[in-house]
Amino acid sequence: MTHDRDKQRSEARFHKLFDDTQAMSIQGYRADGTVVYWNAASEKIYGYATPEALGQSLYDLIIPDEMREDVKQAVAWMFEHQQGIPTARLNLKHKDGSTVPVYSSHTVVALPNDEPIMFCMDADMRAIPPPANSVARQSCTPWQGRVCHCPAKRIFLL
């Protein structure tokens, strides 16, 4: 009984974490692309309220037409292999039709006696300030000891 209660609490904590995170859009999909989870950050980034998104197709909501077939193939591969594809920058689609640049990561969660669900976690690249975005692209050379002398900041390595 205590074990079940602990599992319920743990699951509730993760639901709260996923639901309340403001900077990371998290969505859950079935193998056919049907939306089964859509957090508040997804509402903000893509423009669809959770009730609008649930039960709808990933492909219709946020995938641009020119990417649709490639994404369908990638989703099929992820479910077949029970793992995500490499993290990548993608240009997805907002409800109003505008482009949403994101840094996207995927994983498939397959539990015994339950259908697998693919989770997608998207960071909105529009929310990253330009100086921080440009620092990520700059070279951190020359190295002097264990300190990187980047123009914007120093990074100390352990």
**For the segment 119-136, what is each residue's pLDDT rounded down to a tens digit?**
999 999 998 877 655 544
**Is there a single domain that holds both residue 73 and residue 144?**
no
pLDDT one-digit tens code per residue, 46-96? 999 999 999 999 999 999 999 999 999 999 999 999 999 999 999 999 999
User: Which pLDDT score, from 0 to 100, does residue 158 have?
Assistant: 34
- Domain containing 118 equals 2-127
**Is there a single domain that holds both residue 9 and residue 86?**
yes
Q: Where are the alpha helices (DSSP H) in 21-119?
A: 40-46, 50-53, 58-61, 68-81
Q: How confident is the model at residue 137 (pLDDT cuts 50, 70, 90)?
A: very low
**Is there a single domain that holds both residue 44 and residue 107?**
yes
The closest of 67, 32, 37, 30 to 53, measured between CA atoms, is 37
- Domains held by the chain: number: 2
**Is there a single domain that holds both residue 82 and residue 30?**
yes
**Is there a single domain that holds both residue 8 and residue 65?**
yes
pTM of the model: 0.75
